[in-house]
Chains A and B, each alone.
Chain A
Amino acid sequence: MSKIVVLGAGISGHVAASHLRRKLSKEHEVIVVSPNSNYQWIPSNIWVGIGRMPSKKILFPLAPLYKKKGIDFKQAKAISFHPEGDEKESKPYVVAEYVTGDKQGTQEKVTYDYLINATGPKLNFEATNGLIPGKNKTYSVCTYTHAEHAWNGLNKVIQEMKQGKKAKILIGTGHAKATCQGAAFEYILNVEQELRRHKVRDMAEVTWISNEYKLGDFGMDGMLMSYGSITMKSSEMVEMIFEDRDIKWILGAGVNKIEDGIAHYENLEGETKTILYDFAMLIPSFSGHGFKAFDKNNQDITDRLFKGFMIVDADYTPRPYEEWTVQDWPETYQNPSYKNIFAPGIAFAPPHTISKPRKNKNGTEIFPSPPRTGMPSGITAKLVADNIIDSIKSGKESLKHKGSMGNMGAACIASAGYGLLDGSGISITTFPIIPDYKKYSDTQGRHLGKTFGSIGLAGHWLKLALHYAFIYKAKMKPFWWLIPE
């Protein structure tokens, strides 16, 4: 009998737990430890943030589902890792602290045979002075509650515009090394469309602010893509969209301080600037959770498990951008020191960024961190679960399932406006996610046939279809496993 503990119940943790439970017999225990009571389909948060989708449509409670499926659920947060056990406990364990109910505040040693760390990122709002969701006229769409607040803030500004007041709207990244530009990109286009729907577009100045060097970088070093019958750079496509919608942009901006309606930033030229706004949605930087790890003698071994995020089978040797390769990126997401610990999704420490690092004359680094959201989170979680299942069934370590982001495709179906007949979407696929400049040397590291962009109503329908399909899958309804990650 094996006991598998999954930390986190986001896309990655939930996918791993679902597949483990489906493929392992009931004699094996699957335990999910998460401080969140609900599962949320994060990609649809942007629609909550424009008031077009209630948050109840993107979430459901985890406890009843896990009870029905035979997954043990502890609503608790992980505190520390003890991969060798301790003097009293011979098995490895994590210390978890309950966050609700009768046990709130009590800590428990949760032992395991296999541990999947799918804790995702910490939303590091503190890294930017004054960036607090719902304060200083800044908002976030990183969680459904943040998105609800964002809609309240946006709606207030829309009502003011209807009364004749002009407004400045600022959307983008709220830190010099923030990631998740895709979500901000979707949000700015949705907000712009909502302004038109409310007939106040001419009252608003909409500005994109980002740490990207070029538009369309998305933390992936941009891409060359097929667009209809032509080949286009992602920067050209985004520029076309922004110009067409009269959206201004500020690039190479490291936002470092927020005051009420004022964003302070430093740019790649080393200048310090400010921009005023009436409503801002700024994505914070992501960081690890600051977990500590200890060996059986209670000595601190945090640096064997964590490098901000969790250390896995990546090549972390520091090298200049020109020497980076796809082989640097992990394949199995296994911790090299403790082979029964894995970190799929956003929880693993990337070997380096994907976008070219840039520093201004003041020494401030301004460039996007690597995105690892959505689809790659699901794929990496499934392959980790499959390797654990194989290892349990064969009785020896099996790592035959591999999935490097350098040999994996991704689809970004970005909503560009909500509406069954007047909505729009920008569908972008990329293969591989990490550009392989050796294999695809003349197409900027990507397979041109598998890297394409498309704009139109169909993209909105596709995003909506994916929303319902993935909620169905997450609820583990009949044949859910047929829907790919």
Chain B
Amino acid sequence: MRRISPIQRFKMMNPIIQLFKFFILSIKVMVIVAGGHGGTRKAN
């Protein structure tokens, strides 16, 4: 069943669009992953 439309698929696989996405994704992942961690018991 075709659940992803051709335009969406084009966006997902277009190297130029995806290159921008790669940089954005890398930054977003880095912010979340390296953005710190800590305990929960005192904070709450």
Residues of A within 8 A of B (CB): 240-241, 243-244, 246, 326-327, 329, 331, 375, 379, 383, 402-404, 406-411, 413, 421-422, 424, 427, 429, 431, 436, 438-439, 450, 452, 454-459, 461-462, 465, 484-485
Contact of B22 among A452, A455, A462 (CB under 8 A): A462
B40 close to A406 (CB less than 8 A)? yes
B18 close to A457 (CB less than 8 A)? yes
Please judge, given known A-B contacts A244-B4, A413-B29, A456-B12, whether A408 and B37 are in contact too, CB under 8 Å. yes
Contact with A along B1-33 (1 / 0, CB 8 A): 111100000011111001101100110111011
Could you say which residues of chain A place their CB within 8 Å of the CB of B2? 244
A457 close to B33 (CB less than 8 A)? no
Bound together, the chains give a CA A71 to CA B9 distance in angstroms of 49
A331 close to B41 (CB less than 8 A)? yes
| Chain B interface size, under 10 / 10 to 19 / 20 to 34 / 35 or more | 20 to 34
Considering the complex of A and B, which 3 residue pairs feature the smallest CB-CB distances, nearest first?
A: A402-B39, A456-B12, A408-B37
B40 close to A407 (CB less than 8 A)? yes
For the complex formed, measure the closest distance between the CB of B22 and the CB atoms of chain A, giving whole angstroms.
4
B29 close to A461 (CB less than 8 A)? no
A327 close to B37 (CB less than 8 A)? no
For the complex formed, measure the closest distance between the CB of A83 and the CB atoms of chain B, giving whole angstroms.
25
B40 close to A427 (CB less than 8 A)? no
Please judge, given known A-B contacts A456-B12, A456-B21, A458-B18, whether A409 and B33 are in contact too, CB under 8 Å. yes
Bound together, the chains give a CA A327 to CA B39 distance in angstroms of 8
B18 close to A456 (CB less than 8 A)? yes
A329 close to B40 (CB less than 8 A)? yes
25 contacts between A and B (CB under 8 A): A326-B40, A326-B44, A331-B39, A331-B40, A331-B41, A404-B37, A404-B38, A404-B41, A407-B38, A407-B39, A411-B32, A424-B13, A427-B29, A429-B32, A431-B32, A436-B40, A455-B4, A455-B12, A456-B18, A457-B13, A458-B22, A462-B25, A462-B26, A462-B29, A465-B26
Contact of A484 among B4, B14, B33 (CB under 8 A): B33
Could you say which residues of chain A place their CB within 8 Å of the CB of B39? 331, 402-404, 407
B32 close to A244 (CB less than 8 A)? no
Could you say which residues of chain A place their CB within 8 Å of the CB of B14? 457
Give the nearest-CB partner of B22 in chain A: A458
Residues of B within 8 A of A (CB): 1-4, 11-15, 18-19, 21-22, 25-26, 28-30, 32-35, 37-41, 43-44
A454 close to B25 (CB less than 8 A)? yes
B37 close to A429 (CB less than 8 A)? no
For the complex formed, measure the closest distance between the CB of B27 and the CB atoms of chain A, giving whole angstroms.
11
Bound together, the chains give a CA A402 to CA B28 distance in angstroms of 23
A407 close to B37 (CB less than 8 A)? yes
For the complex formed, measure the closest distance between the CB of A68 and the CB atoms of chain B, giving whole angstroms.
27
Please judge, given known A-B contacts A402-B39, A458-B19, whether A244 and B3 are in contact too, CB under 8 Å. yes
For the complex formed, measure the closest distance between the CB of A401 and the CB atoms of chain B, giving whole angstroms.
9
Bound together, the chains give a CA A484 to CA B26 distance in angstroms of 13
Please judge, given known A-B contacts A243-B3, A407-B37, A407-B38, whether A421 and B44 are in contact too, CB under 8 Å. no
Contact of A409 among B1, B18, B19, B32 (CB under 8 A): B32
Give the nearest-CB partner of B21 in chain A: A458
Bound together, the chains give a CA A408 to CA B36 distance in angstroms of 7
For the complex formed, measure the closest distance between the CB of A384 and the CB atoms of chain B, giving whole angstroms.
13
Could you say which residues of chain B place their CB within 8 Å of the CB of A413? 29
Please judge, given known A-B contacts A404-B39, A456-B21, whether A411 and B33 are in contact too, CB under 8 Å. yes
For the complex formed, measure the closest distance between the CB of A372 and the CB atoms of chain B, giving whole angstroms.
14
Bound together, the chains give a CA A462 to CA B18 distance in angstroms of 11
B21 close to A379 (CB less than 8 A)? no
Bound together, the chains give a CA A450 to CA B34 distance in angstroms of 12
For the complex formed, measure the closest distance between the CB of B14 and the CB atoms of chain A, giving whole angstroms.
8
